[in-house]
Structure formats: C-alpha cells, structure tokens
Structure 1
Amino acid sequence: MPAALDPCAIAFVGDIHGKPAAFEHTLATAINRGVITIVQVGDFWIYDGPKEPAKLERIITRVCHDARMDTALVDYRFIDGNHENFDWLTPDATDPVPVAEHVTYMPRGTRTRLAGADILFFGGASSADREHRTEGKTWWPAENITDDQLTRGMDAAVAGPVDVLVTHETTTAVFDKLCTLGGHALDKVDDPAGDANRAKLDQLTSAAQPRALVHGHHHTRHASIHDGVRVVSLSLEKAVGSVTILDTTDWTWRVASGRRDTGDDMILWNRASA
C-alpha cells in the first residue's frame, strides 16, 4: 500500500559520502513515509561525471516506483560538506544549481521556502585528515568557509525569519557536546580550520536565530537545545539516525527507525515540547 503523500514534511539526511546505496536507502526512508521534500546536509558527492545525474534519476525513479509515488513530486536539495569535488561545486554561487532533474545543489548563503519552512543553507567544513589527502583530487581548500561567504550568509539570515538552518559543520557549543559523547567528533579536535569554521557558524546562528539547526559531519545521532535553538545532529549513510523528519504543521521531529515505516519512529520533539 503506498504511503500517504505528506507535502508538509521534510526529511533531513546525513552524510552519504558519494555512495549510491546510501542515497537510495535514505531516499527510500523518506519516500516510504510519503515525504517528497528531502534536504541532505553535505558530503553528497554524486555529481562529478557525465553519468552521475542519470544515476541519481534512475534511483529516484526506482524508489518512487516501488513506493507508488509520483517521481515528479520529488524535490531533493543538498549542501556541500568537506568531502566534495569543488572543481564541480561552487560554494560562492548565489542561486540554486540543478545537478539532475530532481536534485539541486544549494550554495552557501542561499535560502528558500520548502514544505512550509523557511530554510537557510550553509555548507562547508574542514577535513582534519587533509594531510593524508591529495589537493585537487580528494581535498580542496574551498571546503572551508570564507569571510565573504559568512557575510553573504549573515545578509540572508536577517532578510527574514529562518525556521531551519542547514549546515555541514556545527556550532562550537554543539561540537563540544558531541566530543563528550566520543566518536567521530574527537577526531577533529585541535584543528584550527575546524575551529574557525565553527566560529563563523556561531555568528551565523546568532544572527539567524533559527527555530532549528540541522547538521552532519560528525556522524553522530544526537538532539539537544542550545540557546533556544533545537539542534539535530545526524548520523551517516544507512545508520539509524541518518534520516530525521520534520512535520512543519506542528513542528514534530522524529528519527526514522529504518527504510520501511513500521510505525516505531522515535519522536524527538512535538508540539507539547515547543
């Protein structure tokens, strides 16, 4: 039985690291719940070749066919992370950039309204392991946030209320909290470039005052509230916690329990906790 279409829901997806299987799994997790608006939080990297757009569209078509959902309804957006090909992506672009029929790159400082929510997109993060990478092949300096990009983001932040700020890196306070939990965040301690990126996001978050901040990069599922902002930290790829769904009618947030909707998704926040 097909899932009921939910035009007032947004699925936020964690790092997929260029893996088509992770793209398909997280897309199906959303579509199987009737969610057609999907926002991926960076480390996407399925675009840099003549066959990639067609590959994305084949996966979208297959997933929608299996769910008996109209492919034309799917609106998939992504931001850049640190594991991207910046010969193909331009973080300084001022408008959304289509990379396939249903997939759009949102450069740093762009904003739009999706499924009833005003969203500000701001990618970028540091590769703490860059000394083991090859510049121009597996690492680009453009991964880091510049002062000009921050200025553009600040201008966008004050242009109107922001419901959700979508980033790859997170704020300093959230990073410090994730470090207490162990895991991937600890690998990024003592990285001056990471510190500088987080300091810029501190400024952007303060200016935007979003209702929620959603980010990836640290591969850890977590939910917290910092300075009145609800923060959703996403896991990666096929892991539980890599997809979190927002119902914009009542601001209920839930973590998808798996690819199929079995009715046991975990509620993070609902109207009663607003």
Structure 2
Amino acid sequence: MIVGLVGDLEGEVRAAVESVRSLGERGVVVAYQLGDLRFGMGPDPDAYLGAIEETCAEYGLRLSCITGNHEHWGRLDELWSAPAGQDADGRPAPLALSAHVTMLPRGHRWELGGRSFTALGSAPSINRHLLTEGVDWWPTEALLDEHVDAVVAGGHADVMLTHDSPASPYCVPPVEEILRRNVRDNPMGWPADSLAYADEGLARLTRAVLGVVPRLLAHGHFHVAGEDRVRLPGADHDTTVWALAARGHAGTVRLLDLDTLTDPDR
C-alpha cells in the first residue's frame, strides 16, 4: 500500500490544493500532513478548509493532519476539551474537520497496511516574540514532557510522524545546517529565549524518537527537504528520517510504500 506525505502548507490554498491533487492523480487515497496546516487561521479559514475538502472529495482521498505550532490552538484546545473530542478514556481523539480531513492528537496510534504508526505533532514557534498570544500564538503549541512520556510508554511504532525534528545527530543534513547556523551566526537575530524555547522542543522530540525507535520518521517544520539514515541508541535497525519541504515547493509531497518503507519515486 502506498500513502502520501505532505509537508507544511501554512494556510496557502494553492499549495494545499496542488499537493492533494498531485497525490490523487497518482491514485493515493490516504495521506498524512505533517503540521502547520494553519487550521482555523488566516483571513478565511472556512474557505481554505473547504478547498482542501473539495479536492480530497474529488479523488476520494482521506487526509489526516498532525498538529503544528501554527494552528489555532485556542480552537483545538476547545474541541479536545469537549466530550465529543475525547475517546472513552477521556483522551483527545481524532477530530473530523470535514468529511475527508481529520486532525490527529499528539500521541495518537493506529495501524495501516500492516504497519504501526504514531503521530506526535507540535513544536515551539521560534518567532513567538513576533506573535500575539490568543491571536496567532498559544502556549499549548509546545510539546510537553507528559506527551513524550505517553508516546514512549506506547512502545515501538514502525512509522512516526512528527512536526518538529529530532536534534543532531539524528536529523537530516539540511536541518542540522539550520541548527548550526542559528548557534553560529544567528542570521535571523532570534532572541536568546526564543532559541532556548526551540531547543526545548528539539530535546523533547528527540527523547520521544529515542523511545519509539521507529523504522521511518517523517517531519516538517523546517521547510527543507532532506533524507538520512541513522542508528538510534540500542536499536537493532536503522531509522530513515525524511524532512519534507513546505508551501508546495519541491519536496513538499512524498510517497511512502508501506511494504518497504521507501519512496517508490526514488
């Protein structure tokens, strides 16, 4: 079985529609979007979601999204705090955003095509000092130790979908270069507390990856495409790490063959 993976869409209608269409035209009927859908954000969030839903419906494609940092976390928190947004144990459950589009909570697990999956969205916004709490930033965007503890307690999964990346030496080279540049040159002029906030997210996500020991990890967040194979401590297998690009640029969309955990296009 072949599924699709889609990087950050950042609320851009054209990128979202073209990404879904590119998968639909390949016959893909299940896809996963790796955070920063920008659910509930932008000038017309209903029209944005409607355009994605219409394209998914056209191809009979079901799109499941994990949480990024750039989502309307106020709305997500509200939905997940209501009984309708929880499972029988009171934990956040997948949210049906439309007929074909679903938002997956942090730590959600499922099986497909003989493979086990877990999703662990969220990341710190390194630009939070430029954002306004309650308008385009919410503190609940961040991954917490309790989320990491829960996903690690769930054990191994073949495929792990995250928004943030693990830290070096478990990240792909383009992400490692971004991390090094932020420390060495800080070309964007990020404040020290913003860099520390981002580092906390990397450390937590790394701990989660080391606990799950997936065979394939796919993430977004850094808006760069890359691939590497790493050996996690204590693992008896390599982990393939994919970073997906964003906004419809090259590398935003990839295919994943669940039999081989490879991209059939590469």
Range of TM-score over shorter length: 0.7 to 0.9
Aligned residue in 2 for 1:235:
245
Instruction: Note the C-alpha offset of 1:185.
Output: 7.6
**Which residue identity does 2:127 align to in structure 1?**
D
**In 1, distance between residues paired with 2:53 and 2:102?**
12
Are residues 237 and 116 of structure 1, via their aligned partners in 2, closer, same or farther at CA, if it must alter by over 3 Å? farther
Q: What's the C-alpha RMSD, in Å, of the aligned pairs? A: 2.4
**Which residue identity does 1:241 align to in structure 2?**
G
Q: How does 1:10-89 map to 2 (within 5 A)?
A: 10-47=3-40, 53-62=49-58, 64=59, 71=60, 74-89=61-76
- Structure 1 length-normalised TM: 0.78
Instruction: Note the C-alpha offset of 1:51.
Output: 5.2
Instruction: Note the C-alpha offset of 1:99.
Output: 0.9
* Secondary structure class of the residue paired with 1:253: coil
**Which residue identity does 2:215 align to in structure 1?**
R
**In 1, distance between residues paired with 2:254 and 2:54?**
24
* Secondary structure class of the residue paired with 1:218: coil
**In 1, distance between residues paired with 2:20 and 2:113?**
17
Displaced runs of 4 or more, over 6 A: none
* Matching of residue 193 in structure 1 with residue 197 in structure 2: yes
Instruction: Note the C-alpha offset of 1:195.
Output: 1.0
Aligned residue in 1 for 2:256:
246
**Which residue identity does 2:261 align to in structure 1?**
W
Instruction: Note the C-alpha offset of 1:183.
Output: 9.3
Runs of at least 5 residues in structure 1 that lack an aligned partner in the other structure: 1-7, 65-70, 255-264, 268-274
Are residues 140 and 175 of structure 1, via their aligned partners in 2, closer, same or farther at CA, if it must alter by over 3 Å? farther
Percentage of identical aligned residues: 26
**In 2, distance between residues paired with 1:164 and 1:128?**
27
* Secondary structure class of the residue paired with 1:135: coil
Q: Deviations over 1:21-48 (max 9, x none)?
A: 1111111111111111100000002446
Answer yes or no: is the 8 Å Cα contact 1:94–1:109 preserved in 2. Answer: no
Are residues 116 and 30 of structure 1, via their aligned partners in 2, closer, same or farther at CA, if it must alter by over 3 Å? farther
Q: How does 1:251-262 map to 2 (within 5 A)?
A: 251-254=261-264
**Which residue identity does 2:254 align to in structure 1?**
T
**In 1, distance between residues paired with 2:96 and 2:197?**
29
Answer yes or no: is the 8 Å Cα contact 1:37–1:115 preserved in 2. Answer: no
- Structure 2 length-normalised TM: 0.81
Are residues 108 and 209 of structure 1, via their aligned partners in 2, closer, same or farther at CA, if it must alter by over 3 Å? same
Instruction: Note the C-alpha offset of 1:252.
Output: 2.5
**In 2, distance between residues paired with 1:189 and 1:78?**
30
The count of residues paired between Structure 1 and Structure 2 equals: 237
**Which residue identity does 1:165 align to in structure 2?**
M
Are residues 219 and 54 of structure 1, via their aligned partners in 2, closer, same or farther at CA, if it must alter by over 3 Å? closer
Aligned pair partner of 1:169 in 148, 152, 164: 164
Aligned residue in 1 for 2:234:
none
Runs of at least 5 residues in structure 2 that lack an aligned partner in the other structure: 82-90, 183-187, 232-237
